[in-house]
Structure 1
Amino acid sequence: MKIYYFALASLLAVSSCAKRPDAIVPADIPMAAYTGSSCSDLARELVKEQENLAALSKAQNQAATGDAVGVFLIGVPTSSTFGGDKEGQVAVAKGKVQAIQNAMRSKRCSAG
């Protein structure tokens, strides 16, 4: 019976670990949110959102590493437990980048 509880606790701890940024699916952000903007505005917004995504991805990688270490050492995903998981924010930032890129393609904006 003890083994059952240990296995269940281990499964719950591992399943609640922070994901790596590349494993996070982008949120569905409608391209229409950006189609009213000019190409130059879109280019500025894209750079801003890519920088935001890079910062969030770095924090998410640190959370995933912290969770792996925490689970290995004490059996608890410490980063996720204490609010370090940025999965939702990474998903939104990825979705915004995709929506801006799609809006730029539809307007035939130059990439550089």
Structure 2
Amino acid sequence: MGVAAVLAVSVAACAKNPESIAPAYVSEMTYQNFTCQQLVQEQQRLNDAYAVAEAQQKKARSNDIAGVILLGLPVSSMSGDNIAPQIANLKGQQEAVRKAMIMKNCG
């Protein structure tokens, strides 16, 4: 296998870009007992949590790419810094809150 092929396989093992991570399914029924005010507060909490997780994931991706270039290994993904499942969950919760807000006609 050529060097280019090895690098391509190694880069594929890198932490994903946060924007490319699909949301996990979270039912909007989780938020059925929330008031509109509580939904807005939850939306803000989730947005803040996502911003922190997004920064961590981007750093893990950068470290993985540097690790592949320098060592041939996605070091962040190997050390547990890749938090794609948490990002997927946060995105799913954000979507569920958005759907709950629509169902309750929150403005």
TM-score > 0.5 by shorter chain: yes
Query: Quick one: which of 46, 49, 55 aligns to 2:46?
Result: 49
Identity %: 32
Matched AA of 1:19: K
State the alpha-carbon separation in 2 of the partners of residues 15 and 46 from structure 1.
32
State the alpha-carbon separation in 2 of the partners of residues 6 and 55 from structure 1.
35
> Structure 1 length normalisation: TM-score?
0.88
Give the SS at the match of 1:19.
coil
**Residues 49-95 of structure 1, C-alpha deviations (whole Å, 9 max, x = no match):** 11001100000000001000100111000110111101000000000
In structure 1, the residue matched to 2:19 is 22
* Structure 1: gaps (5+ residues): none
In structure 1, the residue matched to 2:88 is 91
Q: Matched residue pairs, number?
A: 107
* Structure 2: gaps (5+ residues): none
**Residues 13-65 of structure 1, C-alpha deviations (whole Å, 9 max, x = no match):** 22211001000000010111011111111111110011001100000000001
For the pair shown, the structure with the greater C-alpha radius of gyration is 1
State the alpha-carbon separation in 1 of the partners of residues 61 and 100 from structure 2.
32
State the alpha-carbon separation in 1 of the partners of residues 63 and 15 from structure 2.
9
> Structure 2 length normalisation: TM-score?
0.92
Give the SS at the match of 2:73.
coil
